[in-house]
Structure formats: C-alpha cells, structure tokens
C-alpha cells in the first residue's frame, strides 16, 4: 500500500487550510470499524463518522462485497431513458423508512446536488400548477446546504458565501435559533426559541406568500456547529408553510440514517416536510450518493403538466443512481436493519448525553449540546481570532488519537453508531484532558 505521497502540492484540498495541512499532513491510509489508521501506523478513533457519513462504521464487509459484486456485474447504466433494477429497489427501500405520505425518490451524487434538485423541484412544481411567480426561497442564517450556487444562496454561513457574488436572486433568510443566553447546556431540545419560527411570518409579509416557493432548513443544523431545534420550532415552521402554500424542505444530509436515533428527523420529530434531502449515511459514505424524497403530489403535478412520452422533469446527473452507489445503498440499509443501528443509536443516546455533559466546567467550554448521537462542544473564542482555539483543539485531539470536526469554535462529535460505551468515555476523557492544554 502506498502511504507516502510523492508530492503534496498538486492537490488543492477542499475546505482545508492547505498550507497548514501540507506543512504537517494528516494522512489516513486504512480504516476498520470505529478506527482509522494513519500513515504513521497509529489508530485514530473516529469521533465524526468520517464526515458525518460512516454511520455503520468503516469497511463493513457486506457493503464492500456488494460494491465488488456490482462492479463486476454492471459497471454503469445510463440513467436517462434507461434504468437498472437496483435503482428502483433502493428507492422503494428508502420509502420504507419514511411515512407513507412520501412516494418518490430522485437520486443524485452529493448533498449539494440534492439541495439544488429539491430547489428546482419546488420552483418547477409551482410553475406547472400555474403559480409561476413562486420563485423565492427562504433559508436560515447559519444554515449549511452544500456548496452549489443554490446551496450557498439558501445557506447562511458567511465564509461560504462572501466570495461568490450575488448567487441566486430572491433569497431571504430566517433568523438562526442559537441562543446561548437562554439555552446554554441544554440536554436534548432546548426550551426556548419556538417563537423564532414566527420570523417566517415576517418574511411572508415582506415578500408576499405568492412569491415564495419553499423554505429550506436543516432540522438539526450540523455543519454550523450542532444547533438543536428548540421544542415546537419545527412544528411551527410547518404550520406557517401550510398556511401560505409554501413547500418545506428538510435538509437531512446529516440527520438521516440513524444519526438522531431514528431513520430520519422526520420520524424523530414527527414533522413532515414536502421534501427530504439525503446523502452521506445513505451508502455509509462508501460511494457518493444522495437523493430527494418527495411527498405525494409533487411528481404527479409534473406528470399532469407533461404529455405521456414527454420528460416530466428536465434534470438529472450522469451518475444519478449509479449501479455501485445503489449496491452500496442497498447493502447499507440492510446492515442498518440487521444490526438495528437506528435503535442502537437511540438507546445509546442517554449515555452519550451524560458523558458529553460531564465536560461542563472544562476549560474554555461555554456550551454543551446533544441530540441522538450528535454533540456540540462550544468553546469561548480567542479574542479577535474566531475558530483558532477549536482548530488547535482539533489538532491536539488528533495527536491524542481522536478524529473530530470543528467549525468556528465548536467541536462537533458524531461517531459511527456502532460505538461502544468505553469508546464514548475515551472521546470525552480525551477532550477533558486536551482542552486545559489549549491556550
């Protein structure tokens, strides 16, 4: 196995401090279960499920074998005007995980594409029904919806937006729900903030409902640093959308596939959006794949507006429902079911919560929050240097053998759902040991 690259300069790395990385590279060379192994041969406990995606743990045999078999059987099938059985099978297996009010799945290859796809479905849906003025989107401050122009437009993380010009026209944003003053150290869903949903009424008044196509939010905002929805907030957003004929999209790229101790946030919170975007855990991170789950009626509206042999939705990707991704997806969903991993996440969640909140009082920690098998450890920022302290913590945690993810001054934790209690203890004890050594 080649473990030492001959040249670090040729690769422009995504969302990475390239020069810092190349001065001291962190290279992973293999993985198994809960652990990575780096080039130095050290075992690294995966506290972030790769990048929120390896929910069943690494290099799981049934998934690996399914991909190998598929590659040797049908390497590629055109997804436009042609199909292959695994694509249909996977769509129906996914619908088994959501309420019966959902009836179609559209496949793509990344969360960013899933978001763009959902936004396009929303605008087109209104148009084919004769409401072509509904083109506006409402996102939310601090939201992350990937990096396509659609996603950064409805997203609300300034660093991801400010370089890229005007983006999509006609987008507005709800206020975010992060409220340290009232909710710091909440366990599970915070008590305060349901009324922030009423911000949507303000935007409806400003723009008029007849111009708004859809609202898109993460039911639990992950990439911005784990913002748990306040109690009754999602219900209220749903009710306001219903009142004004606005579609609601839940971006479940992180919250899907067991992360919150349920199949999707839809199941966890009992609130049903019109579309659910998914990616990551769909294939356990093994092969890029994503999709949009649609509520009954969306696809039908396109069909009603299109002649029988016409293309209803002029959209799709060369690699939509790629055979390798479908094989990986089918094997992943079976593994989740065979091992009861969503239920496992739900039953481990109280232990996780207890362990995370034991960090209260640790140096720099100004908030701890958790839901399902996710947690955020927020640190006080260094004066004038936002993000620097958490990045130092990330580096020291890695040196101590734990992989985490940081955004701003928040350490986000989301381990594979196969984690054992002793490994939860190790993550928390290592954070408790490392933070006092961070300036």
Ligand X SMILES: Cc1ncc(COP(=O)(O)O)c(C=O)c1O
Where along the sequence are the contacts to ligand X (CB under 6 A)? 110-112, 115, 144-146, 218, 222-223, 251, 253-254, 279
Alpha helices in 78-130 (DSSP H): 85-95, 111-128
Output the residue with the shortest Cβ distance to ligand X. Answer: 111
| Minimum separation from the CB atom of position 259 to ligand X (A) | 11
Residue 146 or 372 with smaller CB distance to ligand X: 146
| Minimum separation from the CB atom of position 98 to ligand X (A) | 17
Residue 223 or 404 with smaller CB distance to ligand X: 223
Classify residue 139 by burial, with Cβ atoms within 10 Å: 0-12, 13-18, 19+. Answer: buried
Q: How far is CA 98 from CA 103, 194, 242, 297, in A?
A: 9, 25, 20, 16
Residue 322 or 426 with smaller CB distance to ligand X: 322
381: DSSP letter = P
Alpha helices in 163-317 (DSSP H): 180-183, 199-207, 233-244, 265-269, 298-304
Helix (H) or strand (E) holding 349: helix 341-357
Count other C-beta atoms under 10 Å from residue 91's C-beta. Answer: 19
Q: How far is CA 428 from CA 101, 148, 257, 377, 397, in A?
A: 40, 35, 24, 10, 11
Q: Which residue has the tokens 């196995």?
A: 1
| Minimum separation from the CB atom of position 341 to ligand X (A) | 20
| Minimum separation from the CB atom of position 58 to ligand X (A) | 18
Residue 246 or 279 with smaller CB distance to ligand X: 279
398 contact partners, CB below 8 Å, separation of at least 6: 26, 44, 404
| Minimum separation from the CB atom of position 254 to ligand X (A) | 4
| Minimum separation from the CB atom of position 274 to ligand X (A) | 17
Residue 175 or 280 with smaller CB distance to ligand X: 280
166 contact partners, CB below 8 Å, separation of at least 6: none
Q: Are 389 and 438 in contact (CB under 8 A)?
A: yes
Q: Are 157 and 142 in contact (CB under 8 A)?
A: yes
Residue 183 or 223 with smaller CB distance to ligand X: 223
Residue 109 or 430 with smaller CB distance to ligand X: 109
Residue 115 or 298 with smaller CB distance to ligand X: 115
Closest CA to 209 of 266, 135, 262: 135
Residue 110 or 404 with smaller CB distance to ligand X: 110
Size of the chain, expressed as the number of residues it contains: 439
């Amino acid at each position: 196995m080649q473990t030492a690259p001959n040249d670090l300069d040729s690769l422009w790395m995504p969302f990475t401090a390239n020069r810092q990385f190349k001065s001291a590279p962190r290279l992973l060379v293999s993985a198994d279960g809960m652990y990575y192994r780096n080039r130095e041969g050290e075992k690294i406990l995966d506290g972030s499920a790769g990048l929120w995606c390896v929910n069943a743990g690494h290099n799981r045999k049934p998934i690996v074998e399914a991909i190998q078999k598929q590659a040797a059987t049908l390497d590629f099938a055109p997804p436009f005007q042609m199909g292959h059985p695994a694509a249909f099978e996977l769509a129906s297996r996914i619908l088994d995980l959501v309420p019966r009010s959902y009836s179609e799945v559209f496949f793509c290859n990344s969360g960013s594409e899933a978001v763009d796809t959902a936004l396009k479905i929303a605008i087109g849906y209104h148009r084919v029904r004769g409401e072509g003025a509904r083109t506006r989107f409402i996102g939310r401050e601090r939201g992350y919806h990937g990096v396509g122009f659609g996603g950064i437009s409805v997203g609300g993380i300034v660093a991801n937006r400010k370089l890229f010009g005007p983006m999509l026209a006609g987008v507005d944003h709800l206020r975010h729900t992060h409220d340290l003053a009232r909710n710091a150290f909440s366990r599970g869903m915070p008590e305060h903030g349901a009324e922030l949903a009423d911000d949507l009424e303000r935007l409806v008044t400003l723009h008029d409902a007849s111009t708004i196509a859809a609202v898109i939010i993460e039911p639990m905002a992950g990439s911005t640093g784990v913002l748990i929805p306040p109690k009754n907030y999602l219900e209220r957003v749903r009710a306001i959308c219903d009142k004004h004929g606005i579609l609601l999209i839940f971006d479940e790229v992180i919250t899907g596939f067991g992360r919150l101790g349920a199949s999707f946030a839809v199941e966890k919170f009992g609130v049903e959006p019109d579309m659910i975007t998914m990616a990551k855990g769909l294939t356990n991170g093994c092969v890029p794949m994503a999709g949009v789950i649609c509520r009954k009626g969306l696809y039908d509206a396109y069909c009603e507006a299109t002649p029988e042999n016409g293309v209803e939705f002029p959209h799709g990707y060369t690699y939509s429902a790629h055979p390798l991704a479908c094989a990986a997806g089918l094997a992943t969903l079976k593994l989740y079911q065979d091992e009861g991993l969503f239920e496992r996440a739900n039953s481990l969640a109280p232990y996780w919560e207890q362990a995370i909140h034991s960090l209260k009082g640790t140096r720099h920690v100004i908030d701890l929050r958790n839901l399902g098998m996710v947690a955020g450890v927020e640190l006080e920022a260094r004066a004038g240097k936002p993000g620097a302290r958490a990045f130092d913590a990330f580096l020291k945690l890695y040196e101590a053998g734990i992989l985490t993810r940081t955004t701003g001054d928040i350490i986000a934790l989301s381990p594979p759902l196969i984690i054992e209690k002793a490994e939860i203890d190790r993550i928390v004890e290592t954070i408790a040991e490392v933070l006092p050594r961070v300036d």
